[in-house]
């Protein structure tokens, strides 16, 4: 009833899980991750203990051993499905023999994709191709889910989706203080992946710092946009839209001016 991807980005040193399902609030069940440790997707007749117990095991063992230990101790393992990527990007997965068809998984370099009650194997193959591509980890997670859905996805329909990405950080406040780089969920929507993409776009506008520019180079455009929105100054707009961390610095006058940020 679910398809998911677990992925490691060695350049960003980040671990992530993307998931979509005909199930209410799938983001509360499937994705588990810890910075520097790894990531886990637990699904089918999901054993949610696989999440915290698996992360604890990943502190000591690689992905294959963690999957073995979790499933061997579970008397209902044949109805479970599990994908794991460890601290070094090693990956392994398990699909129980009694998971509803179509059910299966693909394990590759730095990733695993898995699903059950799918339209077919094409769903996983499409996701795997995206996992092997390049780009920001949160975008690859989203694009993999979209690719799976385009191939039929969960054959029962659509309801919820989520993306979780973790990485180490020295931030003192906000979600990054506990390593949550991206944590977005759509719990109940007729088009959850479309809504999730809207949230990803909003997250990029709010938190990404790879498009810093000089405010002095765009004064006219900024002033015109502020007038259209009814603001008298840039600082007020920044504070009302939660961009305080991107306030212009006196020495550099840098500010996030993303294409989906200030109109």
State the DSSP code for 118: B
User: pTM for this one?
Assistant: 0.83
In the prediction, which pLDDT does 217 show? 73
Long-range pairs for 182-185: beta carbons < 8 A, 24 or more residues apart: 182/16, 182/138, 185/25, 185/27, 185/28, 185/160, 185/161
Low-confidence spans in the chain with pLDDT less than 70: 209-215, 242-263
Phi-psi domain of 40 (left: phi exceeds 0; alpha: psi -120 through 50; beta: other): beta
Structure tokens, 32: 């588990």
Q: What would the pLDDT profile of 162-213 be if each residue is shown by its tens digit?
A: 999 999 988 877 888 889 999 999 999 999 999 999 999 999 987 776 555 5
Q: pLDDT tens for residues 65-75?
A: 999 999 999 99
């Amino acid at each position: 009833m679910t398809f998911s991807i677990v992925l490691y980005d060695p350049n960003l040193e980040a671990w992530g899980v993307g998931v979509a399902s005909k199930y209410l609030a799938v983001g509360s069940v499937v994705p588990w991750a810890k910075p520097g440790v790894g990531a886990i997707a637990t699904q089918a007749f999901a054993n949610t203990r696989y999440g915290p117990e698996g992360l604890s095991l990943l502190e000591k063992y690689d992905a294959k051993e963690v999957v073995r230990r979790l499933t061997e101790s579970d008397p209902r393992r044949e109805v479970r499905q599990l994908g794991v990527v460890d601290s070094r990007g090693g990956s392994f997965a398990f699909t129980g023999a009694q998971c509803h068809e179509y059910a299966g998984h693909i394990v590759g370099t730095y990733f695993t994709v898995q699903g059950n009650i799918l339209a077919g194997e094409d769903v996983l193959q499409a996701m795997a191709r995206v996992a092997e591509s390049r780009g920001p980890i949160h975008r690859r997670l989203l694009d993999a889910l979209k690719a799976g859905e385009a191939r039929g996805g969960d054959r029962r329909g659509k309801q919820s989706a989520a993306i979780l990405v973790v990485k180490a950080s020295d931030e003192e406040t906000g979600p990054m203080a506990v390593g949550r780089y991206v944590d977005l969920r759509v719990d109940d929507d007729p088009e959850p992946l479309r809504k999730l993409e809207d949230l990803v776009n909003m997250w990029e506008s709010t938190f990404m710092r790879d498009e810093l520019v000089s405010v002095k180079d765009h004064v006219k455009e900024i002033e015109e946009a502020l007038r259209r929105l009814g603001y008298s100054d840039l600082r007020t707009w920044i504070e009302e839209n939660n961009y305080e961390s991107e306030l212009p610095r006196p020495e550099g006058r840098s500010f996030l001016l993303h294409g989906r940020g200030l109109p």
